[in-house]
Amino acid sequence: MAATHHNPISIPIDHPNVRNAESFLSSWTEPFDRQKNEGTRFTFRSLISDTEVTVIFFDAYQEAAEYEKRHFHSRSATACSTVNGSALYVILGSDPDLVSSLAGHFAGRE
């Protein structure tokens, strides 16, 4: 399946995981639009399925993992989170298959 061409995602902060996050979001089969920007927390929404991804950048992997454990420990078919590098990805959506697939996309080799 050929990727649809849409505007690439740009995250306007200096952080070692920004390029990965931009690449993950830009390469997904659905285009995302940035909805919110709060410091090191960015929320994107799919223009097609209304799936929402919030990316939170931390100083270290351990900090991201601990934050995930404290705030996003319960997972469901329509809400999950994953840490990649020192970035935490929180995915919310109405389609369980899409949420799971997107979580795998951000997790990389997990």
Considering the four listed CATH numbers 3.30.200, 2.60.40, 1.10.10, 3.40.50, the one that applies to the domain covering 18-107 is 3.30.200
Tell me the whole-structure pTM to 2 decimals: 0.89
In the chain, where does DSSP find H-type helix?
18-27, 61-71, 96-107
Coil/strand/helix, residue 55: strand
- Sequence-distant (≥ 6) Cβ neighbours of residue 40 within 8 angstroms: 13, 15, 56, 57, 58
Question: What mean pLDDT, rounded, does the chain reach?
Answer: 89
Q: What residue spans define the domains of the chain?
A: 18-107
Residue 77, pLDDT > 90, answer: no
The per-residue pLDDT for range 48-57, each reduced to its tens digit, is 999 999 999 9
Backbone angles phi, psi at 37, to 5 degrees: -145, 105
